[in-house]
Chains A and B, each alone.
Chain A
Amino acid sequence: MTRIASALRNVFMFYYDGFRTMSWWGRRVWIIIIIKVCIIFLLLKLFFFPDFLKTSFRSDSERSDYVIEQLTGNK
């Protein structure tokens, strides 16, 4: 258990030190990554990109029926 705790602590310290001593460009790109991920997941995914079939139908059976209707109903 102590070994695992020690290993976990080492891993944590590895990342902690890495982020703490990061260079100018490292800080800049991390700011960009955070902003970008927020825009992609909190803005785009939530408000602009709902999964059309998941949100429009309750079950896979309904989704299948809808797509079959789309595939067979054309022309």
Chain B
Amino acid sequence: MIENIDLSLVNWSRAQFALTAIYHWLFVPLTLGLSFILAFMETIYVRTGDELWKKITKFWMTLFGINFAIGVATGIILEFEFGTNWSNYSWFVGDIFGAPLAVEGILAFFLESTFVAVMFFGWNKVGKKFHLASTWLVAIGANLSALWILVANSWMEHPVGMIFNPETARNEMSSFRDVVLNPVAIDKFTHTVTSGFVLASVFVIGISSWFIIRKREEILARKSILIAGIFGLVSSLALALTGDSSARTLAQVQPVKFAAMEALYNGKSEAGLTVIGALTDSGERIGEKKVHDVKMKIAVPKLLSVMTTGKGDGYVPGLRDLVNGNPEKGILSVTEMIERGKYARQLLTDYKMAKEMGDAASLETLAGKFRDQDFINNYFRYFGYSYFDHPWQVIPSVPVIFYSFRVMVGLGFFFILLFTLALLFFYRKSLERNKWFLWLAVISIPLAYLASELGWIVTEMGRQPWIIQNLMPVNVAVSNISTGAVQTTFWLFTVLFTSLLIAEVSIMVRQIKTGPKH
């Protein structure tokens, strides 16, 4: 029974999943972005026939290969964890999670076994155009592969296109189209891949800058800065736009996360967007949750209202509205949602009892309820709330999300400036003279990784306590296994992933120091 599950099991399972996902994400974004940079570089080579571009492409392809190879299969561990640590969740999501992941698996297999091989083994063995096509297919395939993972992840944030089957306790896909075109999935895909493009561009500019500082491979470095600068600038502007779109969707489907990102406790019209601020304990509480004041605040007036409603005087609900309800604004209280969720769960209990007693008539009636749109929209959608004792339990950790979001966005704007300066100094032929910029570009590489990881922290920590928004909290999703087993694998993963990271960094540093082959 779930009530017997030790809270430390939930926390260790969460920690293990977070560790695995964070390490996995260290490898993925560089693959997503660098693959396109390679495709651009090789396209120039094929179009111009200039051997220098071939040399440049092959150098960056080496670093791509190291990152790709070390990162391969690190994501599969997440799937193991679903089956072992999160079995209730895995069963409950049914084929909705399985279908996109299967597509991703097949795509990744064919991609990795064919076109990546052509990319690395095919120089001088296949035609130039076929090789170029393979490089483009790797780039497109890697990003499409990410699409399916993000579709699955987005369903957890905004479950659509399914019907719950009380007989099997599984959600069954009713519309593949709705699952794929989930507004959260579209925003998440565009925002995530563009963040990968930005990270890869920063990576290329950073390493190229190091070459210029060392007065090595300067032509290669300058040309690489040009390509990465253009790609990075376009991508970072797109990243800002997709971030804006994500925020708009978020305000609709996960308003609690949105309010937590802004540390907005009291809803208001003409709400400003906090650019910088420091959270302090106000001394007030919502249940057992601290209420924070935002001190040293710099805000853009009305921007939050514009972002969420499209109008400067639009009303943005705060955490108090969302927890206590605000009938004037049509916001249900969490207490009401808990009651509705309990009703839905009671019907599932009734179904189970009718099944045990062999009461066919009741089974038919209850099964019909679970297919009834009114019941789905007004009761089943709050199913997960039935597991809460107190309304305040739906509030995630405000400080973690508030600060992570601001650092991520701040770094995003910093990268726009970095790419602009890179292109400016390139066109003025003054890269060598601006040593400060070159060093700034070098130290920006870890900052790009930091921004990328913080994005996921905002997403995943922000949706706590849910594993599936409104339907299943994390403590219900976890398997009834021993905490010791989870702790053991947690430390095994720490060793494994840290070793992989050290291997990647050391091989990559060696190859960078070696430079391109002459």
Contacts and interface: CB of A to CB of B under 8 A. Distances in A.
Interface of A: 14-15, 17-19, 23, 25-26, 28-30, 32-33, 36-37, 39-40, 44-45, 48-54, 60, 63-64, 67-75
Interface residues of B, number: 52
Interface of A is mostly: helix
> Max chain A CB contacts within 10 Å: which of B62, B77, B169, B481?
B169
B1 A14 contact: no
Interface of B: 1-3, 62, 65-66, 69-70, 72-73, 76-77, 80-81, 83-85, 87-88, 90-92, 117, 120-122, 125, 166-170, 345, 348-349, 352, 387, 389, 476, 479-481, 485, 488-489, 492, 496, 500, 503, 507, 510-511
A44 B492 contact: yes
A46 to B, nearest CB: 11
Contact of B511 (A18, A25, A37, A53): A25
A33 B345 contact: no
A70 B478 CA distance: 10
B514 to A, nearest CB: 9
A26 B261 CA distance: 44
A29 B66 contact: yes
A6 to B, nearest CB: 16
B65 to A, nearest CB: 7
A42 to B, nearest CB: 13
Nearest to A13: B125
A29 B69 contact: yes
A17 B479 CA distance: 47
> Max chain A CB contacts within 10 Å: which of B3, B80, B480, B500?
B80
A45 B117 CA distance: 27
Contacts, number: 120
A64 B170 contact: yes
A32 B505 CA distance: 13
14 contacts: A14-B121, A25-B65, A25-B66, A25-B511, A28-B507, A30-B69, A32-B70, A33-B72, A36-B73, A49-B83, A50-B84, A70-B88, A72-B348, A75-B387
Contact of B92 (A49, A67, A75): A67
A53 B85 CA distance: 10
B87 to A, nearest CB: 4
B88 A67 contact: yes
Given A18-B120, A32-B500, A64-B170, A71 B69 contact: no
B2 A70 contact: yes
Given A52-B479, A71-B169, 14 more contacts: A14-B117, A17-B121, A26-B65, A28-B503, A28-B507, A48-B492, A49-B81, A49-B489, A64-B167, A68-B169, A70-B476, A72-B349, A72-B352, A73-B1
